[in-house]
Amino acid sequence: MFKRETMRVLGAMSGTSLDGVDAAVLVTDGVEIAGFGETAYRPYTEDERDILRAALGAWPGDPHAEAAAEVVETAHAELLSRFDPVDLVGFHGQTLAHDPGGRGTHQAGSGAVLSHVLGWPVAWDFRSADVRLGGQGAPLAPFYHHALARHIGADGPVAFVNIGGVANVTWVDPRIPAPEHGCLAFDCGPGNAAMDDLMRSRRGLAFDANGALAATGSVDHARLQAFSGHSFFHRMPPKSLDRAAPAPDVAGLDDADALATLSAGVAAGIALAFEHFPEPPAQLWVCGGGRHNRTLMAMIAAGCDCPVSPVEDAGLEGDMLEAQAFAYLAARVVRGLPTSGPRTTGVAAPVGGGILSRPGDMDD
């Protein structure tokens, strides 16, 4: 069924920020990007977010995890069913717990259920095989970043940073054709989660729109310096974090100063990531929700030794890159190609992760 030719693949991503589900069509053979298709977004309701928040840290068998899985499956089915038929779906699920080297990793939601409901093959559970074989199980978008660097015509090393609930970075050398050799990737520090949590707890708002409140505050440099000394930043990659990533201590600071300090913490984590790159990148491309935060983007640009731009400047759609990434990985799953490797997750050898579920599997 899956030949070595381009497929129309629908990828879906629900990130650690718990805002909703992104979905995007990618035309690909799992190696090259042939084109981009339609996209859509389905926000979680506040009640759904409450269920997901209550399940954070939960493992399979926990009633909170079961409730979260139902929310995730329902939201994805509602969104993905709006699309015209596709050859394949890439379904990430919602990460509830991530403990590589310990209990493993847990993404709520069943690809088998989605395949049954949608009537399309679904590749899913992308992280578990990597973790079982000693990898961090994250980040998983780097092989797609490598394909993107070639697609946009980069002729030397560049870097991508995705700022979701946490921040992760991929250094890419597009001159090296195999992604398992041509990129280095790791989670590099906090992203939006701590800032969003502060806005929710103190002001009842989902986030600091455009970084407007942070822009009126002052960074507490003593706290930022203490944060920058955290052992995580100096540990050699690959390495990963969950939503409870380290963040500057902002207890006792007013809202604006707290947000400014948290924003500076995100920027510091990204700047410190440059210490681990094999060569300086010519450009840092920013994707994920954090690129909409003007205050944060200015702080990142001030701390990096190369131009910093949102990926839209390269003709890409920043809100949908992770959904596209799981479409790309799904194509690699059905082609039997690696989805992670030693330089992206620390696994001992390149791993082809993922489970493929087909319509009718649940009837067997």
What's 345's domain CATH number? 3.30.420.40
Would residue 144 count as lying in a domain? no
Considering the domain architecture, whether residues 169 and 56 belong to the same structural domain is answered as no
Residue 2 has pLDDT above 70, yes or no: no
* Domain of 188, in residue numbers: 153-315
Residues 244 and 356 both lie in one domain: no
Whether residues 170 and 301 fall in one domain: yes
CB hemisphere CA count around 345 (13 angstroms): 31
Is residue 147 assigned to a domain? no
- Residues of the chain above pLDDT 70, percent: 98
pLDDT-based confidence at residue 17 (cuts at 50, 70, 90): confident
**pLDDT of 242:** 76
Residue 148 lies in a domain: no
- Say if 142 falls within a structural domain: no
Do 42 and 83 lie in a common domain? Answer: yes
Give residue 341's pLDDT.
95
* Residues 37, 112 share a domain: yes
Q: What is the pLDDT of residue 286?
A: 97
Give 270-328 as a DSSP string: HHHHGGG-SS--S-EEEESGGGG-HHHHHHHHHH-SS-EEEGGGGT--GGGHHHHHHHH
Task: Flag whether pLDDT at 1 surpasses 80.
Answer: no
Kindly state whether residue 2 falls inside one of the protein's structural domains: no
The per-residue pLDDT for range 278-305, each reduced to its tens digit, is 999 999 999 988 999 999 999 999 999 9
Q: Do 308 and 180 share a structural domain?
A: yes
Residue 184 pLDDT class (50, 70, 90 cuts):
very high
Residue 211: CB atoms within 10 A of its CB come to 23
Same domain, 204 and 303: yes
15 and 106 inside one domain: yes
Convert the pLDDT of each residue in 22-53 to its tens digit.
999 999 999 999 999 999 999 999 999 999 99
pLDDT band for 4, please (50, 70, 90 cuts). low
Grade residue 165 by pLDDT with cuts at 50, 70 and 90: confident
Flag whether 182 is in a domain. yes
Structural domains of the chain, count: 2
Kind and range of the H or E run holding 147: helix 142-151
Sign of CA dihedral 288, 290, 291, 292: positive
**355 found inside a domain:** yes
> Which pLDDT band holds residue 356 (cuts at 50, 70, 90)?
very high
Q: CB-based burial of residue 315 (10 Å sphere; 0-12 exposed, 13-18 middle, 19+ buried)? A: exposed
Integer CA distances (angstroms), 56 to 43, 69, 212, 243, in order: 18, 12, 29, 9
* Per-residue pLDDT, 245: 81
What percent of the chain shows pLDDT beyond 90? Answer: 89
Same domain, 189 and 215: yes
Tell if the pTM clears 0.85, that is, is over it.
Answer: yes
Q: What is the per-residue pLDDT across 101-156, written as a single tens digit (0 to 9) for each?
A: 899 999 999 999 999 999 999 999 999 999 999 999 988 999 999 999 999 999 99
Of the given ranges (69-78, 235-244, 319-328, 335-344), which has the lowest mean pLDDT? 235-244
| Same-domain check for residues 100 and 218 | no
How far apart (Å, rounded) are the C-alpha atoms in residues 220 and 26? Answer: 43
At residue 18, the pLDDT reads 87
Enter the DSSP assignment of 158: E
**pLDDT tens-place string over residues 199-249:** 999 999 999 999 999 999 999 999 999 999 999 999 999 888 877 789 999
- Residues 339, 290 share a domain: no
Quote the pLDDT of residue 363: 65
Assess whether 111 and 24 both reside in one domain: yes
